[in-house]
Structure 1
Amino acid sequence: MTEAPLRLTELSHGGGCGCKIAPAVLTEMLSHMPAAQPFANLLVGTETADDAAVWRLNDEQALIATTDFFMPIVDDPYDFGRIAATNALSDVYAMGGTPIMALAIVGMPVNKLPLAAIGRILEGGAAVCANAGIPVAGGHSIDSPEPIYGLVALGIAHPDVIKRNRDAREGDVLVLGKPLGVGILGSAMKKGVLDADGYAQMIATTTRLNKVGPALAKLPDVHALTDVTGFGLLGHLLEVCRGAGLGATVEASALPVMPAAIPFAQQGIGPGAIARNLASCGDDVQFADGVEEWQRSVLADAQTSGGLLVACSPDTVDTVLATFRNGGFSDAAVIGRMHAGAAKVQVEK
C-alpha cells in the first residue's frame, strides 16, 4: 500500500497570518515593554502599530526594516515559500518603500520533512525576491518541530514619503487593493473541499507583490497606508482609527471578496482566527442591522499576504484606483471612509 504524501499543513497547528497572536493578547504582552528611548533618527518605531520600523539615514534616504514568518497555509512547498516571501515584503511596500534585500528565516522539522521539500520552500521564496528585484542575501535556520519560513525585509524610501497608519484624516476615503477571503479558502483547503479554481484564486492574490506601494505613497493626497493581514480588515482598520484618533465606516456590500470564498463563508467555514479577531475588536466594532454573519466573518478573516489599505482624500480616489489597476490589482475598491469620532469602526449594510 502506497503511503500518502506528507501534507505541510499537517505539521503545524496554524497556518499563514492566522498564526499571529490575537491583537488583544499582543497588546497585553507589549504593555510590559519598557518605554522606548528617544532616537532622533527613528522615524517609526513601536509607538504605533505600523508595518515596519523606519530609520532616517540622511535627508534623502530612510531605511525600512521588518520581519515576517509563519507556518504553512498550503501544502505545496513552492507555493508556501512564495506566499511567505510575498507577505514579508508587503510590509516594506506598505510603508511606501522599495525592497533592497532580504534574509531568510527558516525553521524546519528536518527529521519529518524531506530535504527536497525544504529546498522547494526556499526556491519559492527566492523566486518572489527575484521578482521584486532583490537578493536573498543570507539568513538563519533552525531545526524546529513545525515548519516555519519567512523573511527579514529591508527597503529604502525618501523620509518625506513614508506612510504611517496613524496619519489618516477626517473625510479620507478608504480603498482596499486585494480581495478578502484568504483564511476562509485556506480552511476549505484543509477540509478537502477547495477545488482547483478556488486554490488558484487564493494563490493568485497571496503571491501578488504589493509593488504599487511606492507609487501610492508618492501621491500627495494619500495620507495613510497599511496592509491587511492576520488581524483581518477590521483589526487593521482599527489600528488606523486608533492611530489617527478617528472613526471609520465600512460598507459591507462594497468589499471585494474572492468569489470562491463566499459560499464557504456562508457555510461557516473559516479559521479560528476569525473568532479571535472579532473578540479582540470587542465593542470598537459595531455592525448595522442587515450585515450578514458571513460578511462579519469575511471582515475578520485572517488575511495572508493581503492587500494595501489606503486612506486618501476624496479628490484623489480615481488616481488611487487607477494606480492599483495599472499595477494589476483589478479588484481594488472603495470600501468606506474616515470620520470624526471615537476610534471605532461602524459596518453598514
Structure 2
Amino acid sequence: MSEPRADDIPRLTQLAHGGGCACKIPPGELDSLVAGLSGGHGAAVDPALELMIGLDSGGDDAAVVRLDGERAIVTTADFFTPVVDDPYDWGRIAAANALSDVYAMGGVPVAAVNLLGWPREKLSLEVAARVLSGGRDVAHAAGCHVGGGHSVDDPEPKYGMSVVGVVQPDRMLRMDAAAPGLPLTLTKPLGTGVLNTRHKATGTVFPEAVETMAALNRDASRAAVESGIRSGTDVTGFGLLGHMYKLARAANVTAVVNSSAVPLLTDARKAVADGFVSGGTHRNLDWITPFTDFGAVSGEERLLLADAQTSGGLLLAGELPGHPVIGEIRPPGPFPLVVRA
C-alpha cells in the first residue's frame, strides 16, 4: 500500500476541536464525576484478584490488580484527537502517551490494543494506516505486543491504546507514597501544550516537541524503580501543577516547585507570550489556583507550569541522576502547592 502524499492529507489538527491531552475533561469536573463512582458505592462481587489501586487511590495513572506476592497487572487506556498534522507522528505520540501510564506506575508494558475513531468520509483509511503504523512502531520499540483493538466511525479522528503491563507490588510507583524531605524530579521539559497550540493555529512544526512527545518514559521509569523511588506520576493534560497537586493531595503533603528550575522546550516561553495557550491550560490554572501559593510568580510563568502537556515526562518524588530536581516535598501546610520563582 503506497503512502499518501502530504499535500493529499487534510491538516489533522483542523478536524478536531482540541488536540492531544488538552482535550481532556476539565480536572475539576472529572473529580466530581469520579467521586460519584468511588467510595461507599460497593465493590466487585466476589473478585478473583485484589484491586491494589483503583478509583479510590486519588487519581493514579492506571489500575493495579495483584496476581500474587511478586506480580501485579497494570491496566490503562488513553486516546485523544490529533496533536500534530503528520499521521505517523500522531500515532507515535499517542502510543507513547498510553504506554506512559504503565511506566508511571513503575511497570513494564506487555500488550496493547488499538483504539481508533475515524471520520471515514473526511479521511482515507490509508491515513489511518499511517497512524496505526506509528503506534505499532513505538509499542514494538517498547517491547510491547500490539494486537487488534476497536474502531468506530467518528466525526473527529481519535487514536490511542489500551495497555496491559506487569509490576512488582513492592517496587511500584504510586502517588500516595510521597514523603516530606524528598526532592522532586521532572524527566521531560514542559511546553508541548503551547507549541501544539501554535502548530494547530499556524501549521509551524516544532521537531523538538514532536520527538519529546514520542519519546518513551521507559528508561526513566526503570531507573527510578532501581534507585528505590516509590512515588511518582506522569505529566499530561492537567499540566505540571495539576499532576503535582494530585500527588500532594494523595500523600497529604506540600509540593514545592522552583519555577526557574523547570526545564522548557525551545520557543515555549515565546509561544505563551504570543498568546498560543489552549483552553485546557487556562482551565488547569483556574482549577489549581485556590490550592496554590504562587507568591510573586508572573502570569506567563503560571501558564507554563499549568500548560496541558501531551505525553510529558515523569514527576518523581526522589532524585534521578541525569534529570533536573525542580522542587521538594514538605510536610502539609496551608497550601498543597507552593511555587517559588
TM-score clears 0.5: yes
TM-score by length of 2: 0.92
**Partner residue in 2 for 1:302:** 308
How far the C-alpha of 1:208 sits from its partner, in A, is 0.4
User: Contact between 2:253 and 2:329, CA under 8 Å: does it hold in 1?
Assistant: yes
**Within 2, Cα distance between the matches of 1:281 and 1:239?**
10
Which residue identity does 2:19 align to in structure 1?
A: G
Question: In structure 2, which of residues 64, 78, 82 is the aligned counterpart of residue 72 of structure 1?
Answer: 82
4+ long deviations beyond 2 Å: none
Q: How does 1:170-319 map to 2 (within 5 A)?
A: 170-192=180-202, 194=204, 196=205, 199-212=206-219, 213-220=221-228, 222-289=229-296, 291-312=297-318, 317=319
2:7 aligned with 1:6: no
**Partner residue in 1 for 2:50:** 41
Unaligned runs of at least 5 residues, structure 2:
1-6
**Within 1, Cα distance between the matches of 2:207 and 2:22?**
20
User: Contact between 1:268 and 1:294, CA under 8 Å: does it hold in 2?
Assistant: no
**Partner residue in 1 for 2:162:** 152
**Within 2, Cα distance between the matches of 1:279 and 1:227?**
21
**Within 2, Cα distance between the matches of 1:65 and 1:193?**
35
How far the C-alpha of 1:139 sits from its partner, in A, is 0.6
**Within 2, Cα distance between the matches of 1:154 and 1:139?**
13
2:337 aligned with 1:348: no
**Within 2, Cα distance between the matches of 1:287 and 1:274?**
16
**Within 2, Cα distance between the matches of 1:272 and 1:150?**
22
How far the C-alpha of 1:61 sits from its partner, in A, is 1.0
How far the C-alpha of 1:4 sits from its partner, in A, is 7.4
**Within 2, Cα distance between the matches of 1:125 and 1:92?**
16
2:114 aligned with 1:107: no
* Cα separation, partners in 2 of 1:4 and 1:85, compared to 1, 3 Å: closer
**Within 1, Cα distance between the matches of 2:196 and 2:115?**
22
Which residue identity does 2:265 align to in structure 1?
A: M
Deviations 1:213-233 (A, max 9, x none): 13312322x130100000000
TM-score by length of 1: 0.90
**Within 2, Cα distance between the matches of 1:240 and 1:306?**
16
Q: Tell me the secondary structure at the aligned position of residue 346 of structure 1.
A: strand
How far the C-alpha of 1:295 sits from its partner, in A, is 1.1
Question: In structure 2, which of residues 16, 23, 26 is the aligned counterpart of residue 19 of structure 1?
Answer: 23
User: Contact between 1:249 and 1:348, CA under 8 Å: does it hold in 2?
Assistant: yes
User: Contact between 1:169 and 1:223, CA under 8 Å: does it hold in 2?
Assistant: no
More deviation, 53-62/26-35: 26-35
**Within 1, Cα distance between the matches of 2:159 and 2:298?**
36
User: Contact between 2:114 and 2:159, CA under 8 Å: does it hold in 1?
Assistant: yes
Deviations 1:75-132 (A, max 9, x none): 1100110000000000000100011000100110011101111110000100101111
How far the C-alpha of 1:292 sits from its partner, in A, is 2.1
Unaligned runs of at least 5 residues, structure 1:
326-331
Question: In structure 1, which of residues 50, 54, 62 is the aligned counterpart of residue 60 of structure 2?
Answer: 50
Question: In structure 2, which of residues 126, 131, 135 is the aligned counterpart of residue 121 of structure 1?
Answer: 131
Aligned length: 327
**Within 2, Cα distance between the matches of 1:138 and 1:4?**
27
Question: In structure 2, which of residues 309, 322, 326 is the aligned counterpart of residue 335 of structure 1?
Answer: 326
Deviations 1:248-275 (A, max 9, x none): 1111111100022111112222211111
Which residue identity does 2:237 align to in structure 1?
A: G
Which residue identity does 1:306 align to in structure 2?
A: G
User: Contact between 2:34 and 2:55, CA under 8 Å: does it hold in 1?
Assistant: no
Which residue identity does 1:216 align to in structure 2?
A: A
Which residue identity does 2:238 align to in structure 1?
A: F
**Within 2, Cα distance between the matches of 1:141 and 1:268?**
36
Q: Tell me the secondary structure at the aligned position of residue 277 of structure 1.
A: helix
Q: Tell me the secondary structure at the aligned position of residue 165 of structure 2.
A: strand
Q: Tell me the secondary structure at the aligned position of residue 278 of structure 1.
A: helix
Identity in percent = 43
Q: How does 1:77-88 map to 2 (within 5 A)?
A: 77-88=87-98
Question: In structure 2, which of residues 81, 104, 108 is the aligned counterpart of residue 98 of structure 1?
Answer: 108
**Within 2, Cα distance between the matches of 1:31 and 1:168?**
22
* Cα separation, partners in 2 of 1:11 and 1:225, compared to 1, 3 Å: same
User: Contact between 1:234 and 1:300, CA under 8 Å: does it hold in 2?
Assistant: yes
How far the C-alpha of 1:5 sits from its partner, in A, is 4.3
User: Contact between 1:96 and 1:215, CA under 8 Å: does it hold in 2?
Assistant: no
Which residue identity does 1:7 align to in structure 2?
A: R
How far the C-alpha of 1:282 sits from its partner, in A, is 3.2
Q: Tell me the secondary structure at the aligned position of residue 212 of structure 2.
A: helix
Q: Tell me the secondary structure at the aligned position of residue 190 of structure 1.
A: helix
Which residue identity does 1:22 align to in structure 2?
A: P
